[in-house]
Each structure stands twice: as structure tokens, then as C-alpha cells.
Amino acid sequence: MSSSYYRRDNCRLCGAVALRSVLELTPSPPANAFVASDQLDKPQAEFPLEMFFCEVCAHAQLLDVVSAEELFGDYVYVSGTSPVFRDHFSRYANEVIKRFSLSPEDLVVDIGSNDGTFLRRFQSVGCRVLGVDPAREIGQQAIRDGVETINGFFTPPLAGEMRAQHGAATLVTANNVFAHIDDLAAVVEGVRGLMSVEGVFVFEVSYLADVVEKTLFDTIYHEHLSYHAVGPLVRFFEANGMELIGADRVETHGGSLRGFAQLKGGPHSIAGSVGGRLVEEQQLGLDRPETLIQFGQQISRVRNTVMQLLEELRVRGAKVAGYGAPAKATTLLHHFGIGPDTLQYIVDDSPLKQGLHTPGMHIPVRPASALETHPVDCLLILAWNFADSIIEKLKPFQAAGGQFLVPLPTPTMR
């Protein structure tokens, strides 16, 4: 077995060993393991992608864990690249500032702070900010942009050092990272040690309800170890000295959960959103393994539709490229079996990905100018959660007869 990979044998949230396999996707390399041209002849490690259901607390999760250093040490995802995400983080920060009456000099800590996009909004109203992120280059970029950032993984000892140096945090945030961590109890221990008595922990994660309802299977990849629902999280926080006080649904990534937690017995009352989510989850059957098994059958139906549309394009002699190279594209391309024989290249706006090749499938990633130098007839939108803004931006392509294939939530030609 690779030293960069292991399989755990108990539930990440409650520790139970009653785990049932409910979904098996095609193994793939890590979703952000893009490959340089001079490395294409070297084999890339692929890891299992299998979802398990805890029959005690109903948490859905991967048990195959790829080392965090391998996944995040040389990261290529940058929050600030997308105007949609910049707008999202600005609105999100404004709502949190208002909801919890944050004042100048309050300390806001962001776990997995990336390039500091989120923290800069808190900084602009006078809050003290501190980021923590293991990605070396991106953390350095944040520091250059004026956001103090610690390069490393958030742990209870690091939380203690941060509190000793900067004082207690009024707000601790973790966006699209609370699903990435194998030892969530240690993270919550760190949050407890860092927060003030009246402090709040706010996190956003892909929401299992949206994943199942909209067949968003491509959000399943090795970075995402947990597929969170409110029911298991209520029990998890309760067992770890905290309580979930809010659970809002937001549109990010096709559908996310924004959770709010405080120290047990803290000053904030539990919002009605928590009970509301619990009722919705029971109606959806998220507390039953059969629901996730049926989800797998729906994925197969989506795959058949997408592959049929691509075959019709091939028979017509149409040239196809991809648009967007997000992490989730790795899962979709591998599970559907879409490689360089189908897609001539993939356009992506991130300079960190341009000139590289996609993990495993080795499809070249190019800037948008490739659409002029190497024209195609159809674009498979792999960043489907941005489909509307991408299509709007590419109106001239569409006006000239170009088509778009949006694979999810429902395969559509536009």
C-alpha cells in the first residue's frame, strides 16, 4: 500500500464500525493532480472512490484517505480566480458580520484560507484576520496581498499557539474544507480552544441533500472525505462540546450547507433552520442506505445520456472541447470514460492550470484564446455550476453556431 494512502475502518463522525458500501465510482488520481508535459510518461497513482454509509449515525463518507500533504501541498485551486466566488464570499461575509454584530478589532480566523479572498472582506470593516492554509504558494500570495497567513494544517496545538499570540477568535470559518479533513474531532477541538466563549464557528460544505437530489456525483472525489448532512452533524457537535445552532442552504457548488456552531451552552439560540433541515433529510431518506444505492443508479442514467449526446456529436463530425477544469471534472471524466479522444482540450481561466494536463486522462488545459486558435463546435461545460455565466460570456461562440453540453444536474444541449 502507498504510504500516501490508507483506509480507515470506522466512522469519521461517531467512530462506529457498522459501515456499508453504497456507491462505487471509477478510481482516479487526486482531483487536482494536474500533470506537466514532461511528466506525461510517468504513471499516476489512482485511488478507490467508494462511498460508505454509517449505520449508526447515517454519515456518508469515503474511507480511503489520500495523505493531506499529497492533496494540498502544491494546490492549484484559487478562490479569487472566479468572479462568481468573489461575489459569493463578499455577500457571505456581509451576512455573518451583520448576524453576529462583528466589531472592529474582533479576530476572524479562516481555516483553509486559500488566497485570502474571504478574509479581505472582514479586514475591510476593521476586523483582525488570520488565515491558515497548507498550500505554500497560495499562502504566500495571500501574505503579499496583506492577509496574515500561517502555512500549515490546523491542529489543536497550532490553535493554542494562535490564541496565545493573537487572543481568542470571535469568528472561526472553514469553507469547503470541513469535508476535506479526516480527523474532524481534532479540528473541532482546535476550534473550541481558539474561540471566545461567545464565539461562532461557521462552515460551508457541499450538502448531501443537494448531491442526491441533483445527482451531483462529481463532487465526490478524494479531497471530499465527508458528504455532510445535518442529522449526523448535530450528534457530532454534541459529542464534541459544541452545538449546531444554524443550518442554511446556499447555492454554492450546486448546493451547499452553511452550518453555524457555538460552544455548548453558548449565547445564541438554535435557529429553526436546524429542525427544518432534519425534517427535509428524513423526507429525502438520507438516513437510509437504500437512498444512496438508488443515487448510484441515477448516476448511470445520467452517464448514458451524456455519452449518447457525445456520440451524436462524434457521428456528425463535430469537434468538442471542455470548459472549466475544476476538481470535480476529474471524477466525471473518469467515471464516464471521457479522454483526449473525445475532448481536444479543456479551457480554464486559472493560469495555474493552463499548460498542464488533467489528472489521469491527460487532456491539455488551455486559456480561452484556444477557442480562436483551435476552434470547436461544442463545449462540454465541466464547471457546470457556472454554466449560465460561462454561456453568457461566450455569446459570440454561440452566435457563430457553437453549442454547449451541460452534463449536470440534468444533461442538456444549449
The three cell numbers of residue 21 are 458500501
Q: What phi, psi does 252 have (nearest 5°)?
A: -55, 145
pLDDT mean over 394-410:
95
pLDDT digits (tens, 9 = 90+) for 18-40: 999 999 999 999 998 999 999 99
Q: Can you tell me whether residue 97 is helix, strand or coil?
A: helix
**pTM: predicted TM-score of the whole model, two decimal places:** 0.89
* Residue 14 pLDDT greater than 60, yes or no: yes
Identify the weakest region by mean pLDDT among 59-63, 73-77, 333-337. 73-77
Q: Pick from 81, 170, 164: which is nearest to 117 by CA?
A: 81
* Residue 354 pLDDT greater than 80, yes or no: yes
* Residue 198 pLDDT greater than 80, yes or no: yes
pLDDT digits (tens, 9 = 90+) for 130-149: 999 988 888 888 889 889 99
Virtual torsion, Cα 358, 402, 368, 384, nearest 10 deg: -50
| Average pLDDT value for the chain | 92
Q: Can you tell me whether residue 374 is helix, strand or coil?
A: coil
Q: How confident is the model at residue 204 (pLDDT cuts 50, 70, 90)?
A: very high
DSSP code string of 154-182 = --HHHHHHHHHHH--EEEEEEES-TTT-S
DSSP label at 307? H
DSSP code string of 379-407 = EEESSGGGHHHHHHHTHHHHHTT-EEEE-
pLDDT of residue 400: 94
* Residue 74 pLDDT greater than 70, yes or no: no
Strands (E), 312-382: 320-323, 346-347, 365-366, 378-381
**Terminal C-alpha separation, the chain:** 45
Angle at 12 between CA 65 and CA 186, to 5 degrees: 95
pLDDT digits (tens, 9 = 90+) for 361-400: 999 999 999 999 999 999 999 999 889 999 999 999 999 9
pLDDT mean over 314-318:
96
* Residue 158 pLDDT greater than 50, yes or no: yes
Q: Pick from 248, 264, 222, 327: which is nearest to 6 by CA?
A: 222
C-alpha 231/C-alpha 278 separation (Å) is: 6
Q: What is the CA radius of gyration of the chain?
A: 21
